Amino acid sequence: MRQVAIVAFGQSDHRPDSAETSEVEMLMPVLHQVLDTVGLRAGEIDFTCSGSSDYLAGRAFSFTMALDGVGAWPPISESHVEMDGAWALYEAWTRLLTGEADTALVYAYGKSSPGDLREVLTRQLDPYYMAPLWPDSVSLAALQAQALIDAADTGADERALAGVAARSRTAAETNPHAQLTGSPPPEALLDEPYLVRPLRRHDCPPIGDGAAAVVLAAGDTARRLCPRPAWIRGMDHRTEAHSLGVRDLTRSPSTRLAAERAGAFQAPVDLAELHAPFTSQELILRRELRLADAVRVNPSGGALAANPMMAAGLIRLGEAAAAIHRGAAGRALAHATSGPCLQQNLVAVLEGDVL
């Protein structure tokens, strides 16, 4: 089977408010950056795929506006997913595996600032039994966090959650794109009030606007475009039952299964970029992914430092790939999630050629 690699990655600075730019104005510099990295023009890309959400924009077919930024006239081969761009990357990967294309541009963006994100996200819930109650995204994550704390076998407590927050935001100090950087020590964080108990503000991701893009290429094209391509050795995504009440919220069997199918357990990884918007979710993911203590988790700061909706998962794949590009990782795992309480999960395994 032909091998496909991530050969370029770019992201915007993630900010709480970007009212001065439209979506396409926010996205375009990122698109130009990744295309410049590989020396291609938009018209030379074989396949383009994007992730975004109309509910963030408050407008139907909002992704068509962003298409202006890739030069979609004359018509290009293009597709869109109404979820995180990591799933757009999955679609592009399969397209390249079939041999239909040699290069693909994948991008994702989200502006949360125009609306009330916690309310907007209620619209992705089951419309009969859940959405009429308007349970917001932080409250649902808090139910999951409490279940984790109550479970006897996890060792999770509020101190452990604060430790995830402090480590992530401290790591983000070296990430120039991050929205939140730096943290008091975990003990000090525990003095803060609850947002929705048991979650405090530090347990939750920042709400912000941002965009990201990657270029994929197959085989020899990848070697030509990038000195050290990040080869996608495996990728898989799985989903849980949509009703929260039928799930064990302390586990993520979909992540475990996706990781198995992606080949994540065939050899140890040295770096993992996990899309865990809430501190408790990182603890769940670490267990399902069987990550050893030596694995560097989210050296970018992860979603706790910047969580632009629909782009934060794609950024995990991009950050993992970028670490391979610069020789800072040999085998990396990237995870993306979409929906409430780790509803859908995608796992990819990336490798560089042996140095």
Number of residues that bind another protein (CB under 8 A): 63
If the CB atoms of residues 130 and 333 are measured against another protein, the closer one turns out to be 130
- Measured CA to CA, the distance from residue 96 to residue 320 in angstroms comes to 20
- Residues forming beta bridges with residue 248, ordered by sequence position: none
DSSP assignment, residue 74? Answer: S
CB of 106 to another protein, least distance (A): 15
Given its phi and psi angles, is residue 276 left (phi above 0), alpha (psi -120 to 50 degrees) or beta? beta
Name residues whose C-beta falls within 8 Å of residue 193's C-beta, 6 or more positions apart in sequence.
Answer: 200
| 199 vs 346 by CB, closer to another protein | 199
Helix (H, G, I), strand (E, B) or coil at 136: coil
- 201 touches another protein (CB under 8 A): no
> What's at 69, amino acid-wise?
G
Asked if 207 is part of the footprint of another protein (rule: CB under 8 A), the reply reads: no
Separation of alpha carbons 216 and 80, rounded Å: 16
Instruction: List binders of another protein among 140-199 (CB under 8 A).
Output: 140, 142-147, 150, 194, 196-199
Binds another protein (CB under 8 A): choice among 22, 62, 79, 181: 22
Interface pick for another protein out of 79, 82, 97, 115 (rule CB under 8 A): 115
Instruction: Name the nearest CA neighbour of 173 among 165, 164, 182.
Output: 182
Please say which residue, 19 or 188, places its beta carbon nearer to another protein: 19
In the set 38, 204, 211, 249, which binds another protein (CB under 8 A)?
249
Can residue 244 be called a binding residue for another protein (CB under 8 A)? yes
Q: Where is 226: in which H helix or E strand?
A: none
Q: Tell the smallest beta-carbon distance from residue 78 to another protein (Å).
A: 12
How is residue 158 written in tokens? 């509020």
Q: Which stretch binds another protein (CB under 8 A): 71-79, 264-272, 293-301, 303-311?
A: 71-79
28 binds another protein, rule: CB under 8 A: yes
Residue 246 binds another protein, judged by CB under 8 A: yes
Give exposure, 335-344, as e/b (b: 16+ Cβ within 10 Å): bbbbbbbbbb
Q: Find tokens 């929205």 and name the residue.
A: 179
Interacting residue with another protein among 133, 152, 354, 355 (CB under 8 A): 133
The SS3 call for residue 259 is helix
128 forms part of the interface with another protein (CB under 8 A): yes
Which residues contribute to the site for another protein (CB under 8 A)?
Answer: 19-25, 28, 31-32, 42-43, 55, 58, 65, 67-74, 113-116, 118-120, 122-123, 127-136, 139-140, 142-147, 150, 194, 196-199, 241-246, 249
